[in-house]
Chain A
Amino acid sequence: MGIPIIEVESLSKRYRLGAIGATSLRETLSQWWDRRNGRLPPSESGDFWALRNVSFSVQPGEVVGVLGRNGAGKSTLLNILSRITEPTSGRARIRGRVASLLEVGTGFHPDLTGRENIYINGAILGMTRADIRRRFDDIVAFAEIESFVDTPVKRYSSGMYVRLAFAVAAHLEPEILIIDEVLAVGDASFQKKCLGKMRDVSEHDGRTVIFVSHNLDSVIRLCGRALLLRQGQLVADGPAPEVVNTYLGQDRVAKPEIILSQFPRNDALRQSAILRILSSADAGKLPWIFPFGETLAFRVVLEVVRPVSQLELGFAVFSATGFEIASATSRGRTPTWAQSCGRCEVDVSLPSLRLAPGHYSLNLGLRSSHGQEDFVVGAAMFEVTVSRSSAEDSIDLIRAACVPETDFEFRQSGS
């Protein structure tokens, strides 16, 4: 083993929970005043470690996948490696230039043409003008935007945007390329091209790639090695297929029951509240994992503090990319006894939603005649996995969020 290109030594990052989000001067001053007068305890209780003592090293030419659930610390790790934010303690040594693949056209100026944006984006990523001039034609050809080079990028389709962004980054020739989830966009053939380019970059040019994705399939195909983060700590580091298995099995043994009382809320009325949500996956199966085509089911526990009328429980299912796919409420179906004081359990099941395999999140809401009673964003995350039924429907060819049960009736036409 030679000298590692990336060496991470007990890297930690702490966030102060109170300090997250834009604060106003008034808030800070009043907090300071309260603390000075001993009315508030010192704020140390609100610390949150996004990364804790993470150590690993990467050899030149390795392609390393980073896995973990949302909030496990993947983005924080990438942000530190690409120098967007500083660690709280620990150290990372990087022996080469790092380029991170920007999210869809971040840094593009909508009014400028593709040509102008290639230059600016390239320079933001650390290229000199001479570098960009030399690779300009390759970038344009790779992004397939030849006839639109001199069109303002605001007239580009979203596909063209992504292609251009990826093309600029891929032609940077940095020693280390950091890619975060970007392949979720773009059409299938372009995704294939990107994956091919990534393989080229690592195999032929010996460059190092750090790849964060929820797409386990491409992690296995592309990465020789994977890291698994859980609650800010590195829990597995090894060959990609093994780590993916660990992630799917062990890490996925999420608690079937999620206590929602401590979840952050907006200023809802709270005369009644959503207390818990439980996965109703069949016994013997992993909670919050539903094979494709099977009934999606969960149980919600509510508490009504003061009697209300017209109580309705609602939910919305969001895709991993934040698109609202389905929602429904119990309007007019909530029994009267459930609207007086006390707790009740609601079993919700969706036998025919048929979500495509992937990751989803669930928002829950409670309304009454008074208005919003409670609202929990991201109350639960769940996954729909590939099942036998999905293989039969060859749904991996479909990129939609839902695959409805459909009848196709072919009939011979007269003429």
Chain B
Amino acid sequence: MSRDTKPVGETVIEATHGWRFLNFRELYDYRDLLWLFVWRDISSRYKQTLLGPVWYVVQPALTTAVFMVIFSRVGRIPTNGVPSSLFYLCGLLLWNYFSQTFQSTAGTLVNNVAVFGKVYFPRLTVPLSSVISNLVGVAIQFVLFTIIFAIEKTGPRAGSYGLTGAAWMLPLVFMHVALLSFGFGLWLAALTAKFRDFAVLAGFLVQLLMYASPVIYPLSRVPTRWYPLAAINPLTFPLEALRSMLLNAGSPNLNLGVESITVTLVTLLTGLLVFQRVEKNFIDVI
């Protein structure tokens, strides 16, 4: 037998009562599956498309162009002294990662009924893989950002914007957003398994949330009476932090940071509990 070195333990199958937290040991045992899922997500995303990975760039580039016309030219929303292309691209870098990860995590249970109904493996491997695989898109879009940055900097409108010393914390910002989207996604996945209403809700909620977050406008332009609302939004902090790191054009502060990190951790922990509570029997009610 192939796994003589690893003795097979006894599995006891019975009704679990109460809440379960993470089974790290099991997730570790299935780490190969996690990586295969990551690789499957990446390699299957643009199969049988002409442009392939170019799509990673086309989508944010077109969105940025549309934003430039509508919000900058027509709407005249200021972009903190930064060329609007860089301003929007920087916001989209993070926003796209959030919305993609959130939506794929939210669909975990409903979209995988066929496999989940046939074989057991830790269900969390599926959303975790999308948290990781979506980073590929971020990396490619980052290249686009760098190119536009170089072009704008050598152009006539080169201003005082640019990288700041805090840029080394960039991975932390993305980690923060990864956990945030994962946590919210787990909640939605659990709720959707019970009530399909939430699948509909999640779709347009994400759309609306973009306008409620400083993606197309800077936090500094939010009127004072609306500021508390912007501050509650856990995405405000990472968006502003990223802009301040890459373009020196954001206004994150400690209060925003503490609020956002607290919301993230609470959502993540409760999301894990709720997801695992629903996951064990959801196949009976789906």
Binding site for B on A (CB under 8 A): 15, 19-26, 28, 79-100, 102-103, 106-107, 109, 111-112, 116, 119-120, 123-129, 131, 134, 152, 173, 175
Contacts and interface: CB of A to CB of B under 8 A. Distances in A.
Given A82-B119, A97-B8, A106-B119, 4 more contacts: A19-B284, A22-B285, A94-B10, A95-B11
B120 to A, nearest CB: 4
B118 A23 contact: no
Contacts of A129: 32, 35-36
B253 interface: no
A92 B13 CA distance: 5
A116 B196 contact: no
B73 interface: no
A100 B8 CA distance: 17
B193 to A, nearest CB: 9
Given A82-B120, A93-B10, A100-B118, A109 B281 contact: no
B119 A88 contact: no
Contact of A116 (B3, B14, B40): B40
A99 B8 CA distance: 13
B47 A111 contact: yes
Contact of B119 (A107, A116, A119, A175): A107
Interface of B: 1-3, 8, 10-16, 30, 32-33, 35-37, 40, 43-44, 47-48, 114-121, 194-198, 280-281, 283-286
A123 B36 contact: yes
A152 B280 CA distance: 32
Contacts of B285: 19-23
30 contacts: A22-B196, A24-B196, A25-B195, A80-B13, A83-B13, A84-B116, A84-B120, A86-B14, A86-B281, A87-B14, A88-B15, A95-B10, A96-B8, A97-B8, A98-B11, A103-B118, A106-B114, A106-B115, A106-B118, A107-B115, A107-B119, A111-B44, A111-B48, A116-B43, A123-B30, A126-B30, A127-B32, A129-B35, A134-B2, A173-B1
A153 B40 CA distance: 14
Contacts of A126: 30, 121
Contacts of B30: 123, 126
Contacts, number: 130
A85 B16 CA distance: 11
Contacts of A112: 40, 43-44, 47
Contacts of B36: 119-120, 123, 129
Contacts of A94: 10-13
Nearest to B197: A25
A165 B286 CA distance: 25
Contacts of A24: 195-197
A372 B162 CA distance: 70
B40 A109 contact: yes
A15 B281 CA distance: 11
Contacts of B32: 123, 127-129
Nearest to B33: A123
Given A95-B8, A102-B119, A85 B40 contact: no
A96 B1 CA distance: 12
B112 to A, nearest CB: 9
Contacts of B121: 124, 126
Contacts of A131: 2-3
A23 B195 contact: yes
Contacts of A90: 14
A15 B284 contact: yes
Contact of A109 (B10, B44, B119): B44
Contacts of B2: 131, 134, 173
Contact of B283 (A23, A85, A109, A116): A85
B120 A86 contact: no
A270 B193 CA distance: 33
B13 A89 contact: no
A79 B283 contact: yes
A415 B225 CA distance: 101
Report the 5 A-B pairs with minimum CB-CB distance, sorted nearest first: A83-B120, A123-B33, A111-B47, A92-B13, A25-B195
A29 to B, nearest CB: 10
B129 to A, nearest CB: 11
A84 B117 contact: yes
A335 B203 CA distance: 55
Contacts of A88: 15
A83 B121 CA distance: 9
A95 B12 CA distance: 9
B130 to A, nearest CB: 14
A86 B280 contact: yes
Nearest to B15: A86
Nearest to B280: A86
A91 B10 contact: no
Residue among A15, A82, A90, A123 with the highest chain B CB neighbour number at 10 A: A123
B12 A91 contact: yes
Contacts of B43: 112, 116
A25 B115 CA distance: 26
Contacts of B48: 111
Contact of B15 (A20, A87, A123): A87
Nearest to B31: A128
